Amino acid sequence: MAITVRPLVEGDIPTFLDLVQALADYEKIPGPDAAARDRLRHDALSDPPRFRVLLAELHGQVAGYSLYFFTYSSFMGRPTLYVEDIFVLPEFRRNGAGRALMGAMAREAVRNGCGRMEWTVLDWNKPAIALYEDLGGRILQEWRVVRVTAEKLARLAQG
């Protein structure tokens, strides 16, 4: 079965937002509220976009998506393609959609002179970990994600 990968266009926004909610459901976390959905819509379509989205299609049906943006590595002196989300709907898994999305992002990273592509994975998501390792990814045990949100972020900003 042929998977096609293409960039998001304005008409895809409702489908994209449904996919983001499906990922949240899969990860057992709250999805975006109405205000966050509005920001996602705006930021995806802004010029320049704050992030980029690719959609994987199988027989004309959207099977999954990836959301990525660029960061920068001061040690390499090169950009990094950072994958925020990659998700394939359960009924489309094992058809190559995840691999196709990862391959498309890798090509985008190479095209943009990136020194690497990075993302995080939940430790309980064994199928994703197996896929990422099969694609050549290495799970970094020594690096930990650090996050500051909401009130603590506001407090930090105030000094």
Annotated catalytic residues are 132
DSSP 146: -
Q: State whether the Cα torsion 80-48-5-37 is positive or negative.
A: positive
List Cβ<8 Å contacts ≥24 apart for 89-96.
89/19, 89/22, 89/63, 89/64, 92/56, 92/58, 92/61, 92/63, 92/64, 93/127, 95/1, 95/3, 95/58, 95/63, 96/1, 96/3
CA–CA separation, 3 vs 55, rounded Å? 10
Contact between residue 56 and residue 5 where contact means Cβ atoms under 8 Å apart:
yes
